[in-house]
Amino acid sequence: MDVITIESQAFKDLQSKINTIAKFVAAIQSKAEEQPEDSWVDSYEVCTFLKISSKTLQRLRAANTITFSRIRGKNFYRISEIQRLLNENIIRRSDEHLQDLIKNHQLNVEQRRAVRTNK
């Protein structure tokens, strides 16, 4: 094990910068929780809560009707994009389905955070 020594003032400056970064990250997270339409959901959540098949979602992607991002082979969609499809009647579901999607997505995020903090 290596021991690194620094001056106390340099340590306090470093600690102050770390606290500033932590506050910034916390502010961004709370802002994301206030604006659920900026959140990203995966294909499984979209299909489950909007009650559409994965093939329907695939057709929407192939026709460039829905924008998405692919990360490590998994597709993600903005909630605002799902809302746009509902407003344009491309997907015919009620707003209740969208609210279920948002609510359950937020619950899943909270559960994942709780699991991470318990480790």
Domain containing residue 60: CATH number: 1.10.1660
> Do 74 and 113 reside in the same domain of the chain?
yes
Residue 65 inside a domain? The answer is yes
> Do 44 and 32 reside in the same domain of the chain?
no
- HSE at residue 56, side-chain half, CA atoms within 13 A, is 12
Segment 52-77 mean pLDDT: 90
Structural domains of the chain, count: 2
Q: Which pair of structure tokens corresponds to residue 16?
A: 């102050």
Task: Using a pLDDT cut of 70, give the percent of the chain over it.
Answer: 84
Residue 1 inside a domain? The answer is no
For every residue of 16-85, DSSP letters joined together read: HHHHHHHHHHHHHHHHHHH-GGG-EEEHHHHHHHHT--HHHHHHHHHTT-S--EEETTEEEEEHHHHHHH
Residue 111 inside a domain? The answer is yes
Q: What is the pLDDT of residue 94?
A: 65
- Tens of pLDDT, residue by residue over 20-58, are 999 998 888 776 665 556 788 888 888 887 788 899 889
> Do 63 and 86 reside in the same domain of the chain?
yes
Domain limits at 80?
Answer: 39-118
Segment 15-24 mean pLDDT: 93
